[in-house]
A and B are shown apart, each in its own frame.
Chain A
């Protein structure tokens, strides 16, 4: 009895041009991942995973909007791995409590009360707000990326805004 495994034979995209895809999208994807995770190492993990995942369907010509596909992959990865990321964040928080010489960028981030409030949001609310106010997506587009209903995006955004407002007021920045 013969037993065989076939693999896809059609290759519709020039593999060498995947570097162009990377060049076009990696920077913005890294920023998106960093805004969602708050951790550079994890953000690079997420983005590297996203490119690895898109490669095969892209190579087979099954991805019409590679930027959208990658964006969704990043958001899904952050959300699905958030328990792990939460552990990472706790570890990072411990490290952060130790006195260190901060970079100018870190100092600016530390002084940015809005950013500090954003980092305290649950991942769903943060994702909705980042997609809406940084990625500049409409509610419908954000819903598509997050894989939820428009109503969920609305409620997550509203809750996130309310939470940020509360945190800023609590910090004396009303």
Chain B
């Protein structure tokens, strides 16, 4: 295949080849020459592209309830005189076979960047809490099975959760943050063999410090080996808030290695206030190359990158310096990749300049492409609470919400507003990788 490729540079495989390589090249060429497209190929491309571009969502909402209101039809894309030229061939029907479920393996989990690519979103692809229950939801907003049926009388509410990387719809681990009058507690949600269980973490893995209005939202590391959160130190003279991390294995919290299970770091570059850990990114291939935590301040709308790295022995370190403050409007980031292209950065932004208007805080999702240009793709509307907005992404899909609305963005640009019946409005959700 030679179209649109650079001129053949030195080292090209087509130059003089040893015998085996030449035989391989000949074999590949001979076999490939026997392959011709069927007329159905163009038909399928045309119908898929037309379907993808015909839908534009326009939404209207009253109070906290959103509804799909209209579908805009885009003119036909293809003129008859520009139709394709395809070879003759038999018409064949593609087959689809379901993928196998696989349990995450021990050790670092490496979710493939395109693992979820092109798979239709299933009925159980989103984990959601309304503050009371934990349940799964389909890509069309249909509520699925309930994994935890909360009791409104017990005074507890679910604030957030973080799904362990490597989880799937069939085998899922997550850390769930509950809050009650006494403070915050972490629980381990496990879904395995169709059964969900919720187990309170041992005391040594629970958040410490004084109770805060903004509870310490946790996040898994990209390899699933650590969970991090930020808590306030008991010592009022401390130089900054405390970043705590615990170890995690396929069996749950705790590794038995004190350095992993009870690591804590003083964030001396940050003022003493509550932060939530929104995300944790790092370059898994380069040890000691800092990745970063995304922290959001509970008070003023501030989002920070805090460098974090892992040493060759697996221990975490926080390099000195390098903490950066994001653009004032950006409160969360997520990346999707689609179709082999460069990742697209999605930003959850609030207000035009982070200030509160008469209606409250206006949330929007901005997609930023490889050329740096940003485009508002979703306006989520307004809330009064700056702590509600969140953004998540896996593969080519992104999910975002702000307490009264939740939207799913597909790699092809399709946007679906998700609404589940009932609930307290404390919406929080995350995408579950398919099995």
User: Which A positions have Cβ atoms within 8 angstroms of B?
Assistant: 1-8, 15-20, 22-32, 34-35, 40-45, 47-57, 59, 62-63, 65-69, 71-73, 75-77, 79-81, 83-84, 87-88, 91, 105, 108-109, 112, 114-115, 118, 129-130, 132-139, 141, 145, 147, 161, 164-165
Chain B contacts with A in 2-42, Cβ cutoff 8 A:
2-6, 8-9, 11-14, 17, 20-21, 23-38, 40-42
Q: Are B53 and A56 in contact (CB under 8 A)?
A: yes
The distance in angstroms between the C-alpha atoms of A76 and B395, with both chains bound, is 12
Q: Are B381 and A41 in contact (CB under 8 A)?
A: no
Q: Are A44 and B37 in contact (CB under 8 A)?
A: yes
**A-chain residues with CB within 8 Å of residue B206 when the two chains form the complex:** none
Shortest distance from the beta carbon of A89 to any chain B beta carbon, whole Å: 10
- B382 interface residue, CB < 8 Å from A? yes
Tell whether A28 pairs with B339 under 8 Å between CB atoms, given A5-B379, A161-B20: no
Shortest distance from the beta carbon of B251 to any chain A beta carbon, whole Å: 25
Q: Are A23 and B84 in contact (CB under 8 A)?
A: yes
- B378 interface residue, CB < 8 Å from A? yes
Q: Are A137 and B117 in contact (CB under 8 A)?
A: no
**B-chain residues with CB within 8 Å of residue A53 when the two chains form the complex:** 118, 338-340, 411-412
**A-chain residues with CB within 8 Å of residue B86 when the two chains form the complex:** 26
Which secondary structure dominates chain A's binding surface? helix
CB pairs A–B below 8 angstroms (28 shown):
A1-B62, A1-B63, A3-B61, A3-B379, A6-B378, A19-B83, A22-B84, A23-B84, A28-B3, A31-B33, A35-B31, A40-B92, A50-B339, A51-B49, A53-B118, A56-B53, A67-B4, A68-B4, A77-B118, A114-B23, A114-B27, A115-B31, A129-B24, A133-B17, A133-B24, A136-B1, A137-B12, A161-B21
With both beta carbons as reference points, the residue of chain A lying nearest to B370 in the complex is identified as A62
The distance in angstroms between the C-alpha atoms of A1 and B65, with both chains bound, is 10
Q: Residue-by-residue, is B256-269 near A (CB-CB < 8 Å gives 1, otherwise 0)?
A: 00000000000000
The distance in angstroms between the C-alpha atoms of A105 and B376, with both chains bound, is 52
Tell whether A48 pairs with B48 under 8 Å between CB atoms, given A31-B35, A53-B339: yes
Q: Are A2 and B100 in contact (CB under 8 A)?
A: no
- B195 interface residue, CB < 8 Å from A? no
Q: How many residues of B contact A (CB 8 A)?
A: 96
Q: Are A75 and B340 in contact (CB under 8 A)?
A: yes
- B59 interface residue, CB < 8 Å from A? yes
Of A20, A23, A35, A147, which one neighbours B32 at CB under 8 angstroms?
A: A35
**B-chain residues with CB within 8 Å of residue A22 when the two chains form the complex:** 42, 45, 84
Of B66, B371, B413, which one neighbours A3 at CB under 8 angstroms?
A: B66
**B-chain residues with CB within 8 Å of residue A88 when the two chains form the complex:** 95, 97
Q: Residue-by-residue, is B94-137 near A (CB-CB < 8 Å gives 1, otherwise 0)?
A: 11111110000000000011110110000000000000000000
The distance in angstroms between the C-alpha atoms of A27 and B33, with both chains bound, is 10
- B405 interface residue, CB < 8 Å from A? yes
Q: Are B92 and A41 in contact (CB under 8 A)?
A: yes
Q: Are A23 and B28 in contact (CB under 8 A)?
A: no
With both beta carbons as reference points, the residue of chain A lying nearest to B51 in the complex is identified as A52
- B327 interface residue, CB < 8 Å from A? no
Q: Are A91 and B1 in contact (CB under 8 A)?
A: no
With both beta carbons as reference points, the residue of chain A lying nearest to B9 in the complex is identified as A138
Q: Are B84 and A138 in contact (CB under 8 A)?
A: no
Of B6, B29, B113, which one neighbours A147 at CB under 8 angstroms?
A: B113
Shortest distance from the beta carbon of A152 to any chain B beta carbon, whole Å: 11
**B-chain residues with CB within 8 Å of residue A45 when the two chains form the complex:** 94
With both beta carbons as reference points, the residue of chain B lying nearest to A34 in the complex is identified as B35
With both beta carbons as reference points, the residue of chain B lying nearest to A63 in the complex is identified as B341
Of A17, A65, A139, which one neighbours B11 at CB under 8 angstroms?
A: A139
Q: Are A44 and B94 in contact (CB under 8 A)?
A: yes
The distance in angstroms between the C-alpha atoms of A57 and B52, with both chains bound, is 12
Q: Residue-by-residue, is B37-73 near A (CB-CB < 8 Å gives 1, otherwise 0)?
A: 1101110110011001100111111110010000000
**B-chain residues with CB within 8 Å of residue A91 when the two chains form the complex:** 97
- B399 interface residue, CB < 8 Å from A? no
Of B11, B12, B49, B85, most buried by chain A (CB within 10 Å of CB) is B49
**B-chain residues with CB within 8 Å of residue A83 when the two chains form the complex:** 99-100
The distance in angstroms between the C-alpha atoms of A65 and B5, with both chains bound, is 8
Shortest distance from the beta carbon of B2 to any chain A beta carbon, whole Å: 7
Tell whether A84 pairs with B117 under 8 Å between CB atoms, given A52-B49, A112-B27: no
**B-chain residues with CB within 8 Å of residue A59 when the two chains form the complex:** 53
Shortest distance from the beta carbon of A24 to any chain B beta carbon, whole Å: 6
- 12 new A-B contacts, CB < 8 A, other than A55-B49, A79-B114, A164-B24, are A1-B63, A2-B61, A4-B60, A6-B379, A8-B375, A26-B42, A48-B44, A48-B45, A52-B45, A115-B30, A138-B13, A141-B6
Comparing B74-82, B154-162, B308-316, the segment that makes contact with chain A is B74-82
**A-chain residues with CB within 8 Å of residue B375 when the two chains form the complex:** 8
Shortest distance from the beta carbon of A29 to any chain B beta carbon, whole Å: 8
The distance in angstroms between the C-alpha atoms of A59 and B53, with both chains bound, is 10
The distance in angstroms between the C-alpha atoms of A30 and B35, with both chains bound, is 8
**A-chain residues with CB within 8 Å of residue B378 when the two chains form the complex:** 5-6
With both beta carbons as reference points, the residue of chain A lying nearest to B57 in the complex is identified as A5
Q: Are A47 and B41 in contact (CB under 8 A)?
A: yes
